[in-house]
Structures are given as C-alpha cells and as structure tokens.
C-alpha cells in the first residue's frame, strides 16, 4: 500500500505543470555601452557606401537601429555629463565644456545620481575601459595593455568609486555588469595632415587598402582640397577601425557566453570634428548612430522617431530592473507604453576658452537654432579647432579668396543671424535658412516658443559668471599657450563691447 501511494505521488508530480517563469530564478542582464568619440553615423548600416562596417551592422541586424538620434550637446564633456546622469547638461550646470576644473566646482543637484551608482546599488559590477580581454591590444596583437579606467570627462564632482574596475573580469561569479566601452573613434585620425596620412597607412595594413580620398563625398560647404579629402578619408578609416574594435568585444562576449544576456547600446558622443560639425547644432554635429541589441529587443527593426542620447540612461536602468528616478529627463525608449518625442533639444556653450551660447529645438521636419551671440563669427577663435590642419586650410583658402560663396557665407561671415530655421529632412546639410521666409513665419514662432518653454521648464542655467570663467581659465593660463591667453583676452573684450 505504501508503495502504491508513493508511486501515485510521483506520477502526480511528474504530470504537474512546471513552475511559472516568474518563480524561477532570474538572471539580470549585463548592460554594455559603446561610447565613441567624434563620429557621425558614417556606418554602412546608415547608408555609408565607401566603407563596410560589418560588426556595427551586425548589431543593427540583430537589434533595433534608430535613424533620428541626436545628442543634447555636440562636444565631449557636456554630452558625457548628460548621458551619465540622464539629465540635460543645461539643467545640472555641466553645459560648459571642460568646466569645474578650477577652484569653483560643479556639484550635481539634489536627486541627481550618476547611473553607475544606481547600478551598483542594484548589485551590478560597474566598469569602464576598452572592453578587450586581458593582454589584447586594439590592433589584435598580444602584449601589455593599460588597465586604467576609460574616458569619463564629467564636468561635475564625483567619486571615482562609482566604477569598480576598468573591466568586468573582476566581478563575482554570476554578478551582472554595467560596462562602458570607451573608444577614441574620430580622434584616431588626429588633428594634422601628417596624422591623417599615418592613419590611412595603418588602415591599409589592417584592411588591405585605405579609403581613397578622391572618392570621398564632402558636405557642400567644404572645398575639395587635398588636405580636407585626406582628413575625411582618414575619418572613414577611423570608422572602420572602430568597427573592428567593436567586433573584438562582441567576440569576447560570445566566447564568455555573455552575448545573449547582454543589453548593448552603440552610440557616439557627437558628430565628426570639423568646422561645422563638432561644437555646433547642425546635423553634422548632433546627429549620431544609435543601435540597441539584447534581450527583448526586436531584431532588424528601424525606428525613425526622434530620440535624445540621454535616453540611453533610462532605457538601460529599466532593462536592468532598476527604478528610474522620477526627476530624470531621459526616457525609456523601449517601454511598452512609450510615447515618442515630438521634439528634441540641444545646446552649445563655452568650449575651452571660447565663449558661446546656442540653443536648438528639432521636430520631425524643422530645426530651429538661436544664436545668443550673433555679433560673433561662426568660427570664433579657438586654439583647439584652429590647431587642426583642416581649419588652418579653410582659413588660408578664405584669406586668399579661393572659397566659393556658400563656404564663405556659412563658415566665415563676420556675424550670424539671431535665428536659423531649416527643413532638415530635405536640406541635409542645413544650408538654406528659412527664418526670414514669410511662408514659414508660423513655424518660426511656434518653435521659438517651444524653445523658450523648454529653457524655462528645464531651468537652463545659461552663461557662466565671470568668476567661474576665470576659475576655469586658470587651468589654461601660464602653460605657454599664448594663443589661448590671447583668445581669453578677446572673449573678455567682446563681452565688454556687448558682442
């Protein structure tokens, strides 16, 4: 009889349905960001035909690609201060490039916490580095490699302990990780013609051939000068080198059995560093690639709705099951109830010693830009940009009268309009300003009001005080860079003149 009841119980247990998935142990996904310097969306999955980028293309094929992703700041440190907090840089006071370096520091507002801290509190191992296996270099060779933390470049004060390591290898068994793979991207081509030529040689060795400068297509306001063509070709080869590095990280994830449980975002921190790209609010400076791949992400999907780069913060936290702070301005773009943005915003402020203030709002059709210092030229004096061979070449061509009218008007006019309005979906490079066109008066007024509202609602902190500017400039003064000190004097003089 006992045997009968024992057999019956076993049979009933075997016939019972499995425990619900919700009751089974769950593994939190790893979260990995690729954050690339100085690079526009020149990947083959985004339509670039002169080069092939198989590894980034794979992420797009196996995930969702966003065609209309834009940064809220087109220069490194404000952009990175925003992405790591999920907040507009203008709200948290981190909007001036390389600020808080002097005696006057920037402290995050109450309620704003860096994303790595939130991941740590949720049990994640946080790391920031190059994503390669121990001992492997970016060129694939074996050898010693630095083990320091990757690029942060935040303008606010923070504890470096928000990162546990430069790599996820040091985590506990089974512990999920939050990893930022920081890549040099467009910076690989350097700032000189000699550096661009060297990168072309490097690409030829690695890929069998480098990009042919004569086949490069430039924006219409850049002349087809040999220096600019070589630079753009080197930029495209920096895209190929970046793609190869992405491939190595993917291969490592697969070898370690982590690929399918890793939520990946690939993006860049702004567009190509050029005369109308990096630091400016046109497509060339703010439009970026943005690809999401991982558990629960639809494969092969292309989304055309507008997103901001800060959305990666909220999206990643939600994917990891971490509560999104109520004050966070980023949005979870893959939430089932997500309502697409009808507009996105961007801001450009002081870059190094060069004082500037520009704001923009973009809808699915129009881009409105406001220049707060219209009496200053587009290419204000700036030691960083003026040191680049491409800018030196442009200035030389301008001085010798060899630029065409479009380049002269967009790059070297002594003043700028207070307002700019472009139909950016048809005017790819934003060359036709519609702000004075009566046919677009209603659009101009509407976007002007939207920008005003955004600045007020988000508490845009605006220009720096003179004392904070002086505090940050002390980092540059006395270092033997006469050009920087000359530019600082120019900025102060222009301010006195009301320019």
Q: Mind listing the pLDDT tens digit for each residue in 84-96?
A: 999 999 999 999 9
Q: Which two tokens stand for residue 222?
A: 């850049």
pLDDT at 290: 98
**Is the distance from CB of 61 to CB of 300 less than 8 angstroms?**
yes
How confident is the model over 155-181, as a mean pLDDT? 97
Distance separating alpha carbons of residues 56 and 44, to the nearest angstrom: 9
Residue located via tokens 């990757």: 150
How confident is the model over 140-166, as a mean pLDDT? 80
How confident is the model over 191-209, as a mean pLDDT? 98
% pLDDT > 70, the chain: 92
Q: Which two tokens stand for residue 3?
A: 């045997």
In this model, does residue 23 exceed pLDDT 70? no
pLDDT at 137: 66
pLDDT digits (tens, 9 = 90+) for 264-313: 999 999 999 999 999 999 999 999 999 999 999 999 999 999 999 999 99
Cβ neighbours around 462 below 10 Å, total: 14
Question: Can you state the angle between helices 389-399 and 226-255, rounded to 10 degrees?
Answer: 160
With a CB cutoff of 8 Å and minimum separation 6, the contacts of 347 are: 72, 73, 78, 88, 89, 90, 95, 281, 358, 359, 360, 460
* pLDDT confidence tier of residue 237, bands split at 50, 70 and 90: very high
pLDDT digits (tens, 9 = 90+) for 464-493: 999 999 999 998 888 888 999 999 999 999
Distance separating alpha carbons of residues 454 and 341, to the nearest angstrom: 13
| CATH number of the 27-496 domain | 3.40.720.10
How confident is the model over 443-451, as a mean pLDDT? 98
* pLDDT confidence tier of residue 141, bands split at 50, 70 and 90: very low
Distance separating alpha carbons of residues 441 and 450, to the nearest angstrom: 14
How confident is the model over 335-357, as a mean pLDDT? 98
Q: Which two tokens stand for residue 490?
A: 């120019």
Residue ranges of domains in the chain = 27-496
In this model, does residue 17 exceed pLDDT 70? no
Between 11 and 171, the more confident residue is 171
pLDDT at 138: 59
In this model, does residue 24 exceed pLDDT 90? no
Distance separating alpha carbons of residues 199 and 188, to the nearest angstrom: 7
The three-state DSSP-derived secondary structure of the chain is CHHHHHHHHHHHHHHCCCCCHHHCCCCCCEEEEEEECCCCCCCHHHCCCCCCCHHHHHHHHCCEEEEEEECCCCCHHHHHHHHCCCCCHHHHCCCCECCCCCCCCCCCCCCCCCHHHHHHHCCCEEEEECCCCCCECCCCCECCCCCCCCCCCCCCCCCHHHCCECCHHHCCCCCCEEEEEEECHHHHHCCCHHHHHHHHHHHHHHHCCCCCHHHCCCCCCCCCCHHHHHHHHHHHHHHHHHHHHHHHHHHHHHHCCCHHHEEEEEEECCCCCCCCCCCCCCHHHHEEEEEEECCCCCCCEEECCEEECCHHHHHHHHHCCCCCCCCCCCCCCCCCCCCCECCEEEEECCECCECCCEEEEECCCCEEEEECCCCCCCCCCCHHHHCCHHHHHHHHHHHCCCCCHHHHHHHCCCCCCCEEEECCCCCCCCCCCCCCCHHHHHHHHHHHHHHHHHHHHCCCCCCCCHHHHHHHHCCCCCCCCHHHHHHHHHHHHHHHCCC
**Is the distance from CB of 132 to CB of 139 less than 8 angstroms?**
no
Between 436 and 19, the more confident residue is 436
In this model, does residue 2 exceed pLDDT 60? no
Mean pLDDT of the chain: 93
In this model, does residue 380 exceed pLDDT 80? yes
In this model, does residue 440 exceed pLDDT 70? yes
How confident is the model over 102-130, as a mean pLDDT? 97
* pLDDT confidence tier of residue 246, bands split at 50, 70 and 90: very high
* pLDDT confidence tier of residue 11, bands split at 50, 70 and 90: very low
Residue 314 — φ and ψ, nearest 5°?
-65, -40
pLDDT at 139: 55
pLDDT at 145: 40
With a CB cutoff of 8 Å and minimum separation 6, the contacts of 171 are: 125, 164, 165, 177
In this model, does residue 316 exceed pLDDT 70? yes
Distance separating alpha carbons of residues 195 and 302, to the nearest angstrom: 36
* pLDDT confidence tier of residue 27, bands split at 50, 70 and 90: confident
**Is the distance from CB of 91 to CB of 458 less than 8 angstroms?**
yes
Q: Which two tokens stand for residue 167?
A: 């790599």
């Amino acid at each position: 009889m006992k045997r009968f009841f024992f057999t019956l119980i076993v049979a009933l247990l075997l016939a019972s349905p499995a425990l619900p998935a919700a009751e089974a142990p769950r593994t939190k996904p790893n979260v990995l960001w690729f954050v690339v310097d100085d690079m526009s969306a020149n990947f083959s999955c985004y339509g670039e035909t002169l080069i092939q980028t198989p590894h980034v293309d794979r992420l797009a094929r196996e995930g969702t690609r966003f065609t209309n992703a834009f940064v809220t700041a087109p220069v490194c440190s404000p952009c990175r201060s925003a992405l790591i907090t999920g907040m507009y840089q203008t709200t948290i006071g981190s909007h001036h490039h390389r600020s808080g370096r002097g005696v006057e520091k920037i402290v995050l507002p109450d309620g704003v916490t860096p994303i790595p801290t939130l991941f740590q509190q949720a049990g994640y191992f946080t790391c920031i580095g190059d994503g390669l296996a121990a001992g492997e270099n970016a060129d694939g060779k074996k050898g010693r490699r630095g083990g320091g933390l990757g690029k942060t470049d935040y303008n606010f004060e923070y504890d470096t302990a928000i990162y546990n390591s430069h790599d996820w290898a040091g985590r506990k068994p089974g512990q999920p990780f939050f990893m930022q793979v920081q890549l040099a991207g467009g910076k690989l081509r350097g700032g000189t013609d000699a550096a661009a030529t060297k990168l072309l040689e490097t690409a030829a060795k690695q890929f069998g051939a480098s990009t042919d400068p004569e086949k490069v297509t430039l924006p219409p306001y850049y002349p087809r000068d040999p220096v600019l063509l070589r630079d753009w070709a080197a930029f495209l080869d920096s895209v190929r080198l970046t793609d190869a590095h992405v491939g190595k990280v993917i291969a490592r994830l697969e070898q370690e059995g982590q690929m399918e449980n890793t939520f990946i975002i690939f993006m860049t921190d702004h567009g190509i560093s050029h005369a109308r790209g990096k630091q400016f609010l046109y497509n060339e400076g703010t439009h970026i690639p943005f690809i999401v791949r991982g558990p629960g992400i639809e494969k092969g999907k292309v989304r055309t709705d507008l997103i901001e780069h800060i959305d990666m913060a909220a999206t990643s936290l939600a994917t990891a099951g971490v509560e999104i702070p109520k004050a966070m301005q980023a949005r979870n773009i893959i939430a089932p109830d997500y309502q697409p943005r009808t507009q996105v915003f961007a801001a450009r402020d002081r870059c190094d010693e060069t004082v500037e203030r520009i704001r923009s709002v973009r809808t699915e059709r129009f881009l409105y830009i406001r220049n707060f210092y219209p009496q200053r030229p587009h290419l204000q004096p700036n030691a960083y940009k003026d040191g680049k061979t491409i800018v030196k070449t442009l200035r030389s061509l301008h001085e010798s009268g060899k630029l065409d009218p479009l380049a002269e008007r967009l790059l070297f006019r002594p003043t700028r309009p207070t307002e700019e309005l472009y139909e950016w979906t048809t005017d790819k490079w934003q060359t036709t300003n519609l702000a004075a066109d009566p046919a677009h008066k209603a659009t101009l007024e509407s976007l002007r009001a939207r920008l005003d509202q955004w600045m007020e609602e988000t508490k845009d902190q605006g220009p720096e005080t003179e004392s904070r500017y002086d505090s940050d400039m002390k980092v540059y003064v006395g270092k033997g860079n006469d050009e920087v000190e000359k530019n600082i004097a120019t900025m102060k003089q222009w301010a006195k003149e009301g320019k």
